[in-house]
């Protein structure tokens, strides 16, 4: 599933964990004035298929992204933008298909240097988030949290920054949630990917995002084609500062 708006140079948007293409509405509205903007629902999320047997790993997601873009007639180079988990997928896509990506923008990318660090930081975080990820409870916790968010029964700051009332509507399954976490977010490999790419790349991190991201950012080995920016805000720069992200994208 996808949205396809505007005309001009192509910009492709990849949403983050448990979100959907709706997450990009504010930024897409701005970008579509001068660009063709394609916002994808990643496999297992939003309105896209949710195969129970899928691994929801990098290879599976990249094949799905590539097939969808070819179906839409996107043959030449395009600008690729990712948020959170979508940044991890965008970075890997650019490293695997360098001939297809003209420019790369990575917003609020999870910056973990080891699988152990990623698991410790994420599983030790927000209580509802932690409970919802554990086996045996996800099919109970997630629907309850979804309804609570939708009808504003709990504030977003309690549910955690991953929640946005419009895009965080649980159009996903336990398989896509758990396997995406295990096979993408916990499958650390950003340093190798960053060293493989040679297109212009912008890495954006929120000053109030996870502390571990800010601690690890200076440790990343980055090529000269990569520029890092630490900006005001937390984990949702595309929502809170779409005008800022627009400047980096175009």
Whether 14 is in a domain gets the answer yes
- Quick one: pLDDT band at residue 91, thresholds 50, 70, 90? very high
Domain count of the fold of the chain: 1
Whether 134 is in a domain gets the answer no
pTM as predicted: 0.85
Judge whether residue 137 has pLDDT over 80: no
CATH number at residue 209: 3.40.50.1820
Whether 222 is in a domain gets the answer yes
Structural domain harbouring 241: 2-113+188-249
- Quick one: pLDDT band at residue 14, thresholds 50, 70, 90? very high
Whether 32 is in a domain gets the answer yes
Q: What CA–CA distance (Å, rounded) separates 142 from 234? A: 23
Whether 176 is in a domain gets the answer no
Q: Which tokens in the block code for residue 183?
A: 């096979």
pLDDT in tens, 203-231: 999 999 999 999 999 988 777 899 999 99
Q: Are 90 and 104 in contact (CB under 8 A)?
A: yes
Q: How far is CA 14 from the centre of its chain?
A: 6
Q: What CA–CA distance (Å, rounded) separates 128 from 27? A: 29
Place of tokens 């175009």: 250
């Amino acid at each position: 599933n996808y949205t396809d708006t505007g005309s001009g140079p192509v910009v492709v948007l990849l949403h983050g964990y448990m979100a959907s293409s709706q997450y990009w509405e504010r930024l897409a509205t701005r970008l579509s004035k001068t660009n063709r903007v394609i916002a994808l629902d990643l496999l297992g999320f939003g309105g896209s298929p949710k195969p129970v047997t899928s691994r929801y790993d990098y290879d599976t997601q990249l094949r799905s992204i590539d097939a969808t873009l070819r179906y839409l007639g996107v043959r030449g180079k395009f600008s690729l933008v990712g948020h959170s988990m979508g940044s991890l997928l965008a970075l890997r896509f650019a490293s695997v298909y360098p001939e297809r990506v003209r420019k790369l923008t990575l917003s609020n990318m999870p910056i973990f240097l080891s699988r152990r660090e990623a698991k410790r930081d994420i599983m030790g975080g927000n209580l509802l988030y932690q409970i919802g990820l554990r086996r045996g409870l996800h099919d109970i916790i997630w629907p309850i949290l979804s309804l609570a968010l939708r009808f504003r029964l709990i504030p977003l700051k309690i549910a955690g920054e991953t929640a946005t009332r419009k895009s965080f509507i649980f159009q996903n399954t336990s398989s896509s949630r758990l396997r995406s976490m295990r096979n993408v977010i916990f499958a650390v490999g950003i340093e190798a990917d960053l060293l493989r790419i040679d297109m212009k790349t912008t890495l954006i991190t929120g000053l109030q995002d996870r502390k571990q991201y800010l601690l690890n950012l200076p440790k990343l080995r980055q090529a000269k084609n990569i520029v890092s920016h630490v900006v005001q805000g937390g984990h949702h720069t595309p929502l809170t500062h779409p005008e800022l992200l627009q400047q980096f994208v175009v």
